[in-house]
Structure 1
Amino acid sequence: MRIKKNITLSLFAVTFLSCFTTITSQNKTAVEPPKIIQDTVKIGKLSVPPLESDSIFTDNGLKLKPYKKNAHASYYADKFTGRKTANGSRFDNNKYTAAHKKLPFGTRIKVTNEANGKFVIVKITDRGPFVKTRELDLSKRAFMEITKSKGAGAMKVTIERIIE
């Protein structure tokens, strides 16, 4: 029992001392203590909203409500850049926006590519797509960020509403 304690203490001492680095300059030796990195986590009370049975809380605090799985998503063509959207704003293919047939304007959704698990959060600003098999039109930037192949024009996604 004593031998185990002595070995443990010896290993601790060796590990602790190996954390220090020796700096040599002009034949002088100085011991520099390890750098202390301050924790950036704020300490305080956490306010947790009441749980709903059909919602999911994520690590970053988003409250998600499942909307649709295996939805077919595509992206806007470049010719739509600068045109007015259904909510009155100008469309920009470099922003994180989307078009949906039914979701209210301003709704934020999390769109996850089912093939690789990548996701993006976009805001609904337009109506469409006007193809029966498609559920969602993403801006080109949002689509390219989550796609598996840059040459693809459509993908299967999971859509989750962000509850605010």
Structure 2
Amino acid sequence: MASYYAPRFSTRRTAAGGRFDPNSDTAAHRTLPLGTVARVTNLANGRSAVVTIRDRGPHARGRIVDVSPRVAEDLRMRDAGVTRVILQPIAVPATGSRRRG
């Protein structure tokens, strides 16, 4: 299940450190590394959007991702508020890698 950010979160800091922009491709996931690029597909209508994980959440039980209002509009889920989705990581940043010199 996916939901979207409420307007009150506009300009608040995300876990990645930037300010939340409701017109961005920002999404929140509990465990995927920050910076992960993923495709979210609305199972009710087949519409999909590419998002970047920049925040932690959702905090509501049973939900796997929160998306920005713009992405919710792209997915045509704003009226429903919550919808069933598939979340597919496209690019996951490397973690724990160190350069040796």
Matches within 5 A, 1:1-164: 72-147=1-76, 150-163=78-91
**CA positional deviation for 1:163:** 3.2
CA contact (8 A) 1:86 1:125 kept: yes
RMSD: 1.2
**CA positional deviation for 1:156:** 0.3
**CA positional deviation for 1:133:** 1.0
**CA positional deviation for 1:131:** 1.2
Q: Write the distance in 1 (CA, Å) between the matches of 2:79 and 2:49.
A: 18
What letter is aligned with 1:158?
I
Structure with the higher helix share, 1 or 2: 1
| Larger of the two Rg values belongs to structure | 1
**CA positional deviation for 1:132:** 1.8
Q: Tell me the percent identity.
A: 46
Q: Which 5+ residue runs of structure 1 have no aligned equivalent? A: 1-71
Q: Write the distance in 2 (CA, Å) between the matches of 1:125 and 1:138.
A: 10
Q: Write the distance in 1 (CA, Å) between the matches of 2:11 and 2:59.
A: 19
- Select the structure with the greater relative contact order (CA < 8 A; seq sep ≥ 6): 2
Q: Which 5+ residue runs of structure 2 have no aligned equivalent? A: 93-101
Partner of 1:57: none
**TM-score where L is the length of structure 2:** 0.86
